[in-house]
Chain A
Amino acid sequence: MTDIIDRSADLSQPLDRLGPDERLKYDSDYLRGTIDTGLLDRISGGVRFEENKLMKFHGIYQQDDRDIRDERRRQKLEPAYTFMVRVRMPGGVCTPEQWLKIDELARLYGGDTLRLTTRQTFQFHWVLKEDIRPTIQGLHEVLLDTVAACGDDSRGVMSTADPDDSALHAEVAALAKSLSDHVIPKTGAYHEIWYGKERVATSEDEEPFYGRTYMPRKFKIGFVIPPSNDIDVYTQDLGLIVVSGPDGIEGFNVAIGGGMGRSDQDPATYPRLADVIGYVPKDRLVATADAVMSVQRDYGNRVDRSRARFKYTIDDKGLDFIKAEIERRLGAPLEPARPFEFTSNGDVVGWRENADGSFNLTLFILSGRVSNRPGKTMMDGLRDIAKVHRGKFRLTPNQNLIVADIPAGERPRIEAILAAHGIGEDGASALRRNAIACVALPTCPLAMAEAERYLPDFATKVEAILAENGLIEEPITMRISGCPNGCSRPYVAEIALTGRAPGKYTLWLGGGFHGERLNRPVLDNAGEAAILATLAETLGNYARERSPGEHFGDFLHRSGFFEAGPDSAAGDAVLVRAEAPTRA
């Protein structure tokens, strides 16, 4: 079978036929490169190009404050370089002790702010070069690291944040942790560079699985516990849909090849929903992960990075071939997928009682930004909670926070702290509570437009439209990304904006309410006025013509909005893919 498969761009080729990043990884001596000397250089607050690329594998990104980039250039100063440090936190589970340390580090080195991400972890921003080591060593004190939080490797492993069955959650979260530990790079570079450990001379291969060139691109794994699809399993490279019985996990439906990233310039890039290819019993989990990842490792495109994600490998080689290759490496065919059903990809904000009588509190945190503002000292409040809380914290894929396993008796104390710090739902609409915005400006180097900083304003304007149409309590998924990369998983949202230029966005409509269907571009390069006009019109129709319980995205499809083509107000729309596929 392999003979008909094109191998011209993968690992089978000599290094000099592959892209420059492959050479860089190969020559990096397992991710060491010159990072340690780069950290000492005082002439620049940044690091060299190669060092930056390698540091990503260590969970660190060089950035600069884009708000003042031009101002600094005129001042003959280099860009205001700082670093984003992303924690590895499988399943988003965090102990109060860890929270307190993270809070402390953020106040010391991270510009007094923390960012909860769409993959359930923390990001520090504004970290100065000389503060990276102290930050990472601080995390080490509470048994946290930043290994492979970025880079061409397996990223942070997600898992559903708040299933009704908390025992099941514990079991899945534990699996997420052990699987993450299994799939991360094994090089000693991290310990040497950040903890100052001596390099141990070793003859055996430092990376038994990855080898010297690691993955062709990032690789993302997530566990989901139906009926919640909070992690958007169809956007994962490898999605594991938990199938459970009376005594916990039995196995997983395996979904492969999801991904959001696209670029406006390049039509050969597109979002893709994962395909469910079968079922594996629990004990085959690690073998399955190895098999899937190794197929991508060996067949993934290493010539063109824009086509290097697993989703393109699958479309290039064919799903059948990839599935067969996975089964070959597993040594057995996959069982047929078991039935499952999703109802939503959002969070349920507020108090919820667990089976054991304890409570989970899901706090709405607008685009995951934790900081202190006048009247709303969230950072201080959460620190106070961490001081008294004896359960766990859970970060949700919607950038919200769950204070989990609160004994009933503790509830008043927690509520008092929240009140004291002005933390609450502050009447946020259903739309706002589950809205996601990526970080974008000023730190993200790839941002083309605002996202996090624009969401509050934009949401207010959309809420006005919802209010007019009596839809204020209607759950509608809305996501904003500052560029087409789609860190807010916009392409599965019912309403999405992706940045094109300052103040200009592509408007996407019609995604599936529980992440089962891609949305479609309706306006391109549009300003706020045009966007709001289109929303007013479509939401107006929705309010008037929807059938009971019908979601906004579904309505647009049923009502023939897309078949009719975008209306006049919509201007010229571009289609991402001929047909937006649907998953049950």
Chain B
Amino acid sequence: MTVAQQFHEGALTLEQWQHVEALARSLSPVQARWISGYFAGLDAGLLRGGAAEPAPEASPAGRTLTILYGTETGNARDLGKALAAAAAERGLAPRLFDMADYKVRQLKDEEDLLVIVSTYGEGDPPQPAIGFFEFLEGRRAPQLPNLRYSVLALGDSTYEKYCEAGKRIDRRLQELGAARLDERIDCDLDYEESAAAWSGGLVDKLAAESAERSADIVRLFPTAAAAPTTTPAYDKRNPFAAPVLESIRITGRHSTKDTRHIELDLTGSGLAYEPGDALGVVAANNPAVVARLLDATGLDGGASVSVKGGSLSLAEALERRVEITIASPRFVDQWAKLSGAAALERLKGEAAAAERHAFLQGHHVVDIVRLFPVSGLDPEILLAGLRPLQPRLYSIASSLAAGAEEAHLTVAPVRYSLHGEERGGVASLQLAERVKPGDTLPVYIQPNPHFKLPKNDVPIIMIGAGTGVAPYRGFLQEREATGQGGRSWLFFGERNSRSDFLYQTEWQDWLKSGVLGRMDVAFSRDRSAKVYVQHHMLEQAKDLYAWLEDGAHVYVCGDANALAPDVHETLIRVVAEQGGKPREAAEDYVRQLGAGHRYQRDVY
């Protein structure tokens, strides 16, 4: 097979092909080898963003470099891509994989491995990475004496099992005899700097090693790779100010819930999403809560502070830049120092993790400030102790195919009282109470490749409770608009049928038109029948299993603690009973569903 044919199959334009051919003719064998490595890295790292790869490519350094990320909301992916680009730029030939797509058999052949993984639930891996973890931590994992690696663990220090997934990989690779290229780092939500430092360090180290062998070549194209940017005009750091078209409570009177339906106008933003994706909302704190904190600290909101270079008023910084409700361990450490309070000192360090976690549940920033007053506080010190304000994600409850350039959200306001004060969630209350139709809201699209409709006529089983039903509204809007799609079955759960049957009339219409084939509802607080979705799944076990056997895709969306585990357990039961399988076989069946992307979860 000639070079020309290969490239033609790669579907280059004639012009591109001529450039490449000309360049190829001008190259020395060494240069040619370098170029191939360069393109491999460029390809894997920047264009494909983690599609499955053939056999490892040799880098100039002679050792293969693989970057693995495990992600749910995309942070690890972004870091992975950046790392791959940086590595490629330095002449390395990294291959970038999502753990979800990585062929675990390749692990034994890996030489240098950089892992970026986030943590969910009780120190669990991101959903899509579960298969990888099961293999790595399982008996079938190979010894890895030749492997060098380093782990970047993404996490949120307000969770008890901080960065646990990363820690698990680090621990396990040690057990398997691999050697650390560099110490693991655990990154909190403000991971940018520390992550950059980790990446930079490793890239320097590896580049240096390879440089010893191919120093001359590296200088050939010093500034070769200006990474082709795939990022949209608007993103997390540059959100689009979307006009709010509608914001309405969709739970009826006497409901114990207060669920909101919000419609945002994306016209002109160029933002595109697919059903299953989430919308990132760049939230701002409630000015009243800011005032409360200012009052507690005795600081002047007008005081000008400088954050990330720019200077703005303290009040503004507290409103837009940092989390001022939930406190992080870092804040405890800092406040312990500032206040010298023994009670806080006790909470420092790994040993006190559990106790600290419990304390932080019941004591938010303002509570700590009130309990342990600090006089003459420097506003910038205060800010330094607080975590950057994180955008919040909301499953998109609409489909662009339905016509309008809009994104709809289904939001459950978080409200609670603490220390005798009514308090609530930053974003959900902003959405429910502070933004009105006509206002704008900074948003971006958070793609979720692991929660997607299957090809045309594959049956789908959608399971959701409460706001977990949101993406299914998008699914059905899509199927209705495109006229495509196979059988569909929705399990929905909430509290009261009269008031909490979210989007009731729309499901009814879809049932009539056949866009939705079947629906089972479970209302846990109706006087007549207190049931949950899993009860209906068991009632319908026979059909459910038949659908699975017919290749149906299963979706689960909603509460990570209340819903997901029970549904998962129920699926296994259904398979065991109906398939006449022993427990392990049933578990494996469900695991295979996951591996085959037929069991997709979007839980929070």
Contacts and interface: CB of A to CB of B under 8 A. Distances in A.
A and B together in one complex: yes
B519 A130 contact: no
Given A42-B521, A43-B511, A43-B519, A74 B248 contact: yes
B252 interface: yes
Nearest to A130: B528
A78 to B, nearest CB: 5
B359 interface: no
Given A43-B508, A80-B498, A75 B521 contact: no
B261 interface: yes
A75 B251 contact: yes
A128 interface: yes
Nearest to A108: B527
B528 A76 contact: no
A469 interface: no
A68 B249 CA distance: 14
A77 B250 contact: yes
B253 interface: yes
Binding site secondary structure of chain B: mixed
Interface string A321-337: 00000000000000000
A53 to B, nearest CB: 20
Given A45-B497, A80-B252, A80-B498, A131 B528 contact: yes
A128 B252 contact: no
A259 B35 CA distance: 98
A538 interface: no
B533 to A, nearest CB: 12
Interface in A188-230: none
A28 interface: no
Nearest to B246: A74
B506 interface: yes
A269 interface: no
B216 to A, nearest CB: 68
A284 interface: no
A44 interface: yes
B252 A42 contact: no
Contacts of B231: none
B501 interface: yes
B234 interface: no
Interface residues of A, number: 17
A45 B528 contact: no
A75 B519 CA distance: 20
A44 B528 contact: no
A182 interface: no
Contacts, number: 52
Most A C-beta atoms less than 10 A away, residue of B248, B497, B511, B520:
B497
A72 interface: yes
Contacts of A131: 527-528
B472 to A, nearest CB: 14
Nearest to A133: B528
A44 B528 CA distance: 14
B372 interface: no
Interface string B499-539: 10111111110010000000111010011110000000000
B503 A76 contact: yes
A45 B498 contact: yes
A77 B511 contact: no
Contacts of B520: 42
Contacts of A130: 526-529
Contacts of B249: 75
Contacts of B253: 68, 71
A68 B508 CA distance: 19
Contact of B252 (A43, A44, A77): A77
A196 to B, nearest CB: 15
B326 to A, nearest CB: 31
Interface in A369-404: none
A76 to B, nearest CB: 5
Listed residue (A44, A72, A77) with the most chain B CB atoms within 10 angstroms of its CB: A77
Given A42-B521, A45-B497, A78 B528 contact: no
Interface in A22-49: 42-45
Most buried by A among B248, B498, B508: B498
Nearest to B259: A75
Contacts of A71: 253
Contacts of A77: 250, 252, 499, 501, 504-505
Given A42-B521, A130-B528, A131-B528, A76 B504 contact: yes
Interface in A249-301: none
B425 to A, nearest CB: 22
Contact of A76 (B506, B527, B529): B506
A348 B508 CA distance: 52
B506 A75 contact: no
Nearest to A65: B253
A71 B511 CA distance: 23
A77 B511 CA distance: 15
Nearest to B253: A68
B252 A76 contact: no
Given A43-B511, A43-B519, A130-B526, A76 B497 contact: no
A42 B507 CA distance: 12
B495 to A, nearest CB: 14
Nearest to B254: A80
Nearest to B261: A76
Interface centre among B502, B505, B507, B526 (most CB of A within 10 A): B505
Contacts of A72: 252
A212 to B, nearest CB: 30
Contacts of B501: 77-78
Contacts of A128: 498, 527-528
A75 B504 CA distance: 9
A45 to B, nearest CB: 6
Contacts of B502: 76
B508 A44 contact: yes
Nearest to A44: B508
Contacts of B251: 75
B250 A76 contact: yes
Given A76-B506, A130-B528, A42 B498 contact: no
A360 B499 CA distance: 45
Interface centre among A43, A68, A71, A73 (most CB of B within 10 A): A43
Interface in B220-255: 248-253
A42 B502 CA distance: 14
A415 to B, nearest CB: 38
Contact of A75 (B248, B497, B508, B527): B248
Contacts of A78: 501, 504-505, 508
A75 B252 contact: yes
Given A42-B521, A68-B252, A130-B528, 15 more contacts: A42-B497, A42-B520, A42-B523, A43-B507, A71-B253, A76-B261, A76-B502, A76-B504, A76-B506, A78-B504, A78-B505, A78-B508, A80-B498, A128-B528, A130-B527
16 contacts: A42-B521, A43-B519, A43-B521, A68-B252, A71-B253, A74-B248, A75-B252, A76-B250, A76-B503, A76-B504, A76-B505, A77-B499, A77-B501, A78-B501, A80-B498, A130-B529
Interface of B: 248-253, 261, 497-499, 501-508, 511, 519-521, 523, 526-529
Please provide the 7 A-B residue pairs with the shortest distance between their CB atoms, ordered closest to farther.
Answer: A130-B528, A75-B250, A76-B503, A42-B521, A77-B504, A76-B505, A77-B252
